[in-house]
Amino acid sequence: MQAIDRFKMVDGNIVPSAALDEKEQNIYRGCGWAIAAFDNRQRLAALFYLGESNPYLPDHPDIEIENGVAAALAWDKDQAGWHGRKTLIVMCSGRELCEPYAVSRDQLSLIFAQITEDDS
């Protein structure tokens, strides 16, 4: 099973969604687009909200990062890479994840470069 396999079409939804268990809900901090990182058991390991100006790293809440993509890349470095992990860009809504898009570390780097270029 892959992380994206958790996303199902539920009656009444117009996009696939994945419910979060109690432990995963502790990571959830509200609605918005985020980078979701999953562990080897396809459980949510971290969420990096794209619209936050200073998201934090879960293990280092004192570190201010300029955006969610930079936070995800810093977390990746801190975790010695996403070896065996899967990452998705998701919409967080109603304590669920929805609209999953698979993304690689290289794609995150390109997104980060575009964001920082647009900010200059």
Provide the pLDDT for residue 11: 86
The full DSSP string for 55-106 is --BTTBTT---SSHHHHHHHHHHHTT--TT-EEEEEEEETTEEEEEEE--HH
* pTM for the whole structure: 0.72
Per-residue confidence (pLDDT) for residue 91, from 0 to 100? 93
The list of the chain residues with pLDDT below 50 reads 83-84
Domain enclosing residue 113, as ranges: 3-7+15-119
CA-CA distance, 108 to 75, in Å (whole number)? 12
Q: Phi, psi at residue 9, to the nearest 5°?
A: -80, 120
pLDDT of amino acid 109 = 72
What's residue 97's pLDDT?
A: 95
Amino acid at site 9: M
When divided into structural domains, the chain yields a total of 1
CB 17 within 8 A of CB 96: yes
